[in-house]
Structure 1
Amino acid sequence: MVQRGALWKLDCDVLVVGAGGAAGRAALAASDAGCRVAVVTKRRAGKAGATAVGGRITAVGAFNCARPERGDHPDLYYQDMAAAAAGTCSPPLARIIADEAPAAFDRLRAMGVPFVTEGDGLLQVTGCFSTRPRSYLIPGHGLPIVTAQTEELRRRGVPLLDDCSLVELLVDSERVIGAVVWHPERGFGVARCGAVILGTGGAGNVFPLTFSPPDVTGDGYGAALRAGAVLANMEFVQFGYSLLHPAKNEFESWVWALQPRVLNGEGREFLPARIGGLPVADVFAERSTHYPFSASRPGSRMLDVLIQREISRGSPTPHGGVWLDFSAVGALPDGLSRLWRITADWFQSRGVDLEHQPIEVGLVAHAFNGGLAIDENAESSVGGLFAAGECATGPHGADRLGGNMLLASQVFGERAGRYAAGARDVASWPRVEDGAEAHLGRLLAGRAATDQRRLRRQLQLRMAAAGALGREREGMSEALTWVREAQEVMSGLRWEDRTGPLLLDMRNLLLSAESLLMAALLREESRGSHFRTDLPDRDDRRWAKPVFSRLAGGTVQPLSATWPAVRSR
């Protein structure tokens, strides 16, 4: 039992968990509103999380903004989002994204975030699933955003607690009153606050190949479920091509337009002349319009399936992918030539000669489109619990427009901070400490933990086989049974400082995997990033809607709800 005096204390109006693009924007917005803000982050602020790591895996990041003076309009932008989501997003939240993009864009420019130029202006390209060019490009993906926001938070004196993990949210009467946290030197602490904002990213590490850094383990999903929050769209996970060696780097979709040769590990071309009734050149052109896999594009869907099938048949490259050969690329139009030069130079700086040597690529987990179901204020179904970025869903669904994640992180990070600032009903310390002690009493009881690294690898291999590209009922059912049995074992393990952080990560990964598998089994069709080989067709009559879920009776269960009805209070 942890004694009350042994817990270190953190007192604030708003607690922000995470330090990526969404969390940083939320912390600044709450600070702008005059709140006492504290930020806890699992690794070092400004260096951890998917937004910052994006600068190490891709040359540029896209940030959408529809401007009428550039031949675009928020109405057209909204229509593209709704079409990509295919009935699974929250229309009011998608509308907010379209309308508030210019303000978010201008805030980044004012903070000195750089954008790629072309001639006298800024370069714009057509992002995934968009009908017109509205994606502005940021060199280094989200890293310049995170760097600028972190520097401003430090300048303001906002406390940034590095290496500090969220253990549990404290809830009383369906409202957040604080959180239990853990630091490797200070041990367990308790935070008292009026609101918590989760900016913890997704759960890419449920899969063995992912762009997510090791610290992104579904912490927000797991903590929110245990607190009683509603999740949605967890079956929709984006998978996209990545360089596999000598480093993992995002492989931009537009390069498929260059018509590369595709070879298996034996150096043999294996694609047929026609795929899904289309010439392979037309399929490549279609694949160049979107980075992540999508069941909504029949030609490119079959391209990805054929590549995965060739790999699984035992003809992969040395690192588990296929070879792409761009050596025959000739003269390009100005727009493509500029992008090709940026991309080729970026790869060259990492020891990869894209222009003269074949490269190894494969499909890896990119991002979750699902997460906490939020309202227009970025608040979840639990009072005082807010979320933004990959941790939240609502503006996205079956497919997500390229350039929308960095934007959504800014728009709903801003809203989360602004509206969380109004939740200043801070509970008494005895009430918060009672909740912390009750939780820690359970966490510190039980038997010694097993090898969490081995269990994590087992989970990843099962999810790669059953929960990634090409799902089917039998495989997902077996994986779900295994996940729930593993959770039973985990529930009897106790926290020890040496193994506790791994135990916490594993607990959150298992809940994230359970949420994904439950929703994917329930959705008996294929839609967007969710593709079932046993049910390859889209069923708009039954499934043009999101799947909501929450923790009930110890397992993740479906919830009959609509976007306005996810609030439980």
Structure 2
Amino acid sequence: MTAAAGAPTALHRPAPQQHVPDAGTRPGTRLATRLAAPEPGWTVEVDAIVVGSGIAGLTAALELRTRVPRVLLVTKDTLVSGSTVWAQGGIAAALDPTDSPAAHLQDTLVAGVGLCDPRAVEVLVTEGPSRVRELVARGARFDRSPDGEISLTREGGHHADRIAHAGGDATGAEISRALVAQIEAVRDDPGIEVVEHALVLDVLTGPPGPDGRPGAACGVTLHVIGEGQRDGVGAALGKAVVLATGGIGQVFRSSTNPAQATGDGIAAALRAGAVLGDVEFVQFHPTVLWAGSGARGQLTLVSEAVRGEGAILLDTDGVRFMPAVHPMAELAPRDVVAHAIVAQMAATGAEHVWLDARHLGADFLRKRFPTIHERLLDHGIDLTTDLVPVAPAQHYHSGGVVTDLVGRSSVRGLYAVGEVACTGVHGANRLASNSLLEGLVFATRAARHIASQVQGGVLRQSSPVQRPGDEALVAAASRARVQRAASEGPGVLRSGAGLRRAVTALAAVPTDAHERLDDGRLLAHPQVAEWETTNVHAVATVLTATALEREESRGGHARSDFPATDPDWQVRIEVALDPDGTVTTRRSESTLR
């Protein structure tokens, strides 16, 4: 970083604000409005800050680089990290002349079970084909058919072949490679700076409004993890902040997400005063390699594309069960398949079902799914000759920071794109392969909007002030405790009793580890593992609260005590913190019509 700044950034304390609870308040549920962390020891100022290096973050940074004077791209690990690189299936877009955006829109709305914002879906499907072609222009090499056109296949919930893929089952890795190469090509450009190995702690906000809520976003605090030109905590100031931090997988004991997916962006946005939406809708991928009841961490995904090519599901008695569940059988929307698998496991007393692709032929499977084939071989399973044991595991978060059609959150100057955002595209359940497209489309929109606002003087740099409310730190040793509560409460199949137990368990987790003494010593000091665990705890808390409030089953939210979909619940539950950190919820249906 090149900015001069030896002295810490001054954060001015506003006068205390009186809290008046509304009808949506859940008494006693409070979260911190900032992380416990050292004061920033250095400062840098730019025009826009992008946090994250998946498809959404890289696209936003590349778009902004040519439109504003200075862009800072911050990523928690290296540029080639995050969830995009793990995406196996592909990217959905109506590229075939026999397909149409209208058909893609209809499939998306059906998968979202009444909670999609039709305006956002229309943006996605109409702009998607152009954005994919721009991705090709940026160097992404998709698989081609013999006539030279992009090869398209089908996945669950789609009624047309519209999934573009690369390297058979390495689409995310190819997209990441192409976009990172574009960033690397401009690394020496003074208009962009890349900081790797940096965890963003909090979004900085300006003076509060009359209601006491935080003011405009004006930067971030971040901790550079032993790499780069500066170590420790610093402050990056900017006119706009773009969160592209990915998902919440590590909130659960097992997930297909990488270790970096600790919900940092959604937690930071919540602390900064942003509204969250659809938090309760978590997608559990139906076919994740079952590696034993004690498996933890990132698990091996067996892409939906395998079923798209004709693989079938069998229970442990060898019975195919999906045709009796849904007309699309194994290609039903993911929530339907996941819940059917859980039901079949319960009926047979098994811990998994079988995925059978053997009839597709060894040569085809090795060519179409080379990555999956190799990863399964690492576990002693041959996709071409063996049945593959699979069970659902956490895969994708359909909710996040509520945004409009250009990525703006409820906090001025704060944008969110990709999985961390709630654009309204996914509703209660993401349609297969819409996630990469969403990141691509809305990152482009957000970057172009930010540029126009910066150039027009609408977004200006303000000075950060310290927000009222508590600061928090959860000891890293508590993470397993939090993950157990999330997995047993708002897991694949939920119940009121289980969710209430999770609420109690999460409330009992100490959030003042930086102040609490144990035999004369602090339980924990502010550092990366503790900051991540604090984020995991905050996300688990609001996830459990919203899952308990929604008394129905819909999409990725399944309640055994409320098994039916209720028309009265065709609303979005929105969550925010009051100025003192009280969790409040409200129901909104204005964007769903």
In structure 2, the partner of 1:357 is 386
Q: 1:215 to 1:544 in 2, by over 3 A?
A: same
Given that residues 84 and 528 in structure 1 are in contact (C-alpha distance below 8 angstroms), is that contact kept between their aligned partners in structure 2? yes
Given that residues 259 and 281 in structure 1 are in contact (C-alpha distance below 8 angstroms), is that contact kept between their aligned partners in structure 2? no
Counterpart code for 2:85? A
Counterpart secondary structure, 2:331:
coil
CA shift for structure 1 position 362 = 2.0
Aligned ranges 1:408-419 → 2 under 5 Å: 408-419=438-449
- Comparing 140-149 with 213-222, greater Cα deviation is found at 140-149
Q: 2-side partners of 1:229 and 1:262: how far apart?
A: 44
| Residue 76 of structure 2 is aligned to residue 52 of structure 1 | no
Gap runs ≥5 in structure 1:
55-59, 264-268
Aligned ranges 1:498-537 → 2 under 5 Å: 500-537=527-564
Q: 1-side partners of 2:232 and 2:266: how far apart?
A: 23
The Cα offsets for residues 71-125 of structure 1, whole Å up to 9 and x where unpaired, read as 1221222222222222212221111101101211111111221212232232212
Counterpart secondary structure, 1:249:
coil
Counterpart secondary structure, 1:400:
coil
Given that residues 12 and 36 in structure 1 are in contact (C-alpha distance below 8 angstroms), is that contact kept between their aligned partners in structure 2? yes
In structure 2, the partner of 1:65 is 93
Counterpart secondary structure, 1:378:
coil
Q: 1:493 to 1:525 in 2, by over 3 A?
A: same
Q: 1-side partners of 2:124 and 2:152: how far apart?
A: 18
The Cα offsets for residues 308-355 of structure 1, whole Å up to 9 and x where unpaired, read as 565xx5x54xxxx4454555x2679xxxx8567412674146523112
CA shift for structure 1 position 455 = 1.2
Counterpart secondary structure, 1:179:
strand
| Residue 304 of structure 2 is aligned to residue 253 of structure 1 | yes
In structure 1, the partner of 2:71 is 37
Counterpart code for 2:345? I
Counterpart code for 2:8? R
Q: 2-side partners of 1:192 and 1:386: how far apart?
A: 15
Q: 1:144 to 1:440 in 2, by over 3 A?
A: farther
Aligned ranges 1:433-444 → 2 under 5 Å: 435=465, 438=466
In structure 1, the partner of 2:202 is 168
Given that residues 514 and 556 in structure 1 are in contact (C-alpha distance below 8 angstroms), is that contact kept between their aligned partners in structure 2? no
Q: 1:309 to 1:418 in 2, by over 3 A?
A: farther
In structure 2, the partner of 1:148 is 178
In structure 1, the partner of 2:421 is 392
In structure 1, the partner of 2:493 is 470
CA shift for structure 1 position 163 = 0.9
Given that residues 333 and 431 in structure 2 are in contact (C-alpha distance below 8 angstroms), is that contact kept between their aligned partners in structure 1? no
Counterpart secondary structure, 2:114:
coil
Q: 1-side partners of 2:236 and 2:120: how far apart?
A: 30
Counterpart secondary structure, 1:101:
helix
Q: Give the alignment partner of residue 268 of structure 2, picking from 212, 216, 223.
A: 223
Given that residues 205 and 272 in structure 2 are in contact (C-alpha distance below 8 angstroms), is that contact kept between their aligned partners in structure 1? yes
Aligned ranges 1:60-209 → 2 under 5 Å: 60-67=88-95, 70-120=97-147, 121-139=149-167, 140-157=170-187, 158-172=192-206, 173=208, 174-185=215-226, 186-209=231-254
- Normalization by structure 1: what TM-score? 0.83
CA shift for structure 1 position 143 = 1.7
Counterpart secondary structure, 1:4:
coil
Given that residues 475 and 530 in structure 2 are in contact (C-alpha distance below 8 angstroms), is that contact kept between their aligned partners in structure 1? no
Counterpart code for 2:216? R
CA shift for structure 1 position 469 = 1.2
Aligned ranges 1:291-310 → 2 under 5 Å: 292-294=334-336, 301-307=339-345
In structure 1, the partner of 2:432 is 402
Counterpart code for 1:251? V
Q: 1:564 to 1:546 in 2, by over 3 A?
A: closer
Q: 1:350 to 1:171 in 2, by over 3 A?
A: same
Give the superposed CA RMSD: 3.0
- Normalization by structure 2: what TM-score? 0.80
The Cα offsets for residues 457-496 of structure 1, whole Å up to 9 and x where unpaired, read as 1111222112111100011011012213326445846999
In structure 1, the partner of 2:401 is 372
In structure 2, the partner of 1:266 is none
Higher helix share: 1
Q: 1-side partners of 2:277 and 2:184: how far apart?
A: 34
Q: 2-side partners of 1:345 and 1:165: how far apart?
A: 30
In structure 2, the partner of 1:455 is 478
Counterpart code for 2:397? F
CA shift for structure 1 position 217 = 0.5
Counterpart code for 2:196? D
The Cα offsets for residues 445-464 of structure 1, whole Å up to 9 and x where unpaired, read as x9xx7751x31111112221
Q: 2-side partners of 1:491 and 1:305: how far apart?
A: 44
Q: 1-side partners of 2:512 and 2:313: how far apart?
A: 48
Given that residues 260 and 326 in structure 1 are in contact (C-alpha distance below 8 angstroms), is that contact kept between their aligned partners in structure 2? no
In structure 1, the partner of 2:566 is 539
Counterpart secondary structure, 2:426:
coil
Q: 1-side partners of 2:122 and 2:186: how far apart?
A: 32
CA shift for structure 1 position 395 = 1.3
| Residue 576 of structure 2 is aligned to residue 550 of structure 1 | yes
CA shift for structure 1 position 131 = 2.1
Q: Give the alignment partner of residue 19 of structure 1, picking from 53, 61, 73.
A: 53
In structure 1, the partner of 2:328 is 286
Q: 1-side partners of 2:106 and 2:252: how far apart?
A: 32
Q: 1:476 to 1:309 in 2, by over 3 A?
A: farther
CA shift for structure 1 position 283 = 4.5
Q: 1-side partners of 2:90 and 2:86: how far apart?
A: 15
Q: 2-side partners of 1:245 and 1:236: how far apart?
A: 25
Q: 2-side partners of 1:239 and 1:521: how far apart?
A: 18
Q: 1:358 to 1:160 in 2, by over 3 A?
A: same
Counterpart secondary structure, 2:233:
strand
Counterpart code for 1:181? L
CA shift for structure 1 position 287 = 4.1
CA shift for structure 1 position 413 = 0.9
Counterpart secondary structure, 1:118:
coil
CA shift for structure 1 position 192 = 0.9
Counterpart code for 1:37? V
CA shift for structure 1 position 196 = 0.1
Aligned ranges 1:330-345 → 2 under 5 Å: 338=364, 341-343=367-369
In structure 1, the partner of 2:21 is none
CA shift for structure 1 position 126 = 2.4
Q: 1:72 to 1:490 in 2, by over 3 A?
A: farther
Q: 2-side partners of 1:487 and 1:385: how far apart?
A: 30
Counterpart secondary structure, 2:132:
helix
Gap runs ≥5 in structure 2:
1-5, 10-39, 209-214, 293-297
Q: 1-side partners of 2:219 and 2:371: how far apart?
A: 47
Given that residues 322 and 362 in structure 1 are in contact (C-alpha distance below 8 angstroms), is that contact kept between their aligned partners in structure 2? yes
| Residue 79 of structure 2 is aligned to residue 28 of structure 1 | no
CA shift for structure 1 position 147 = 1.9
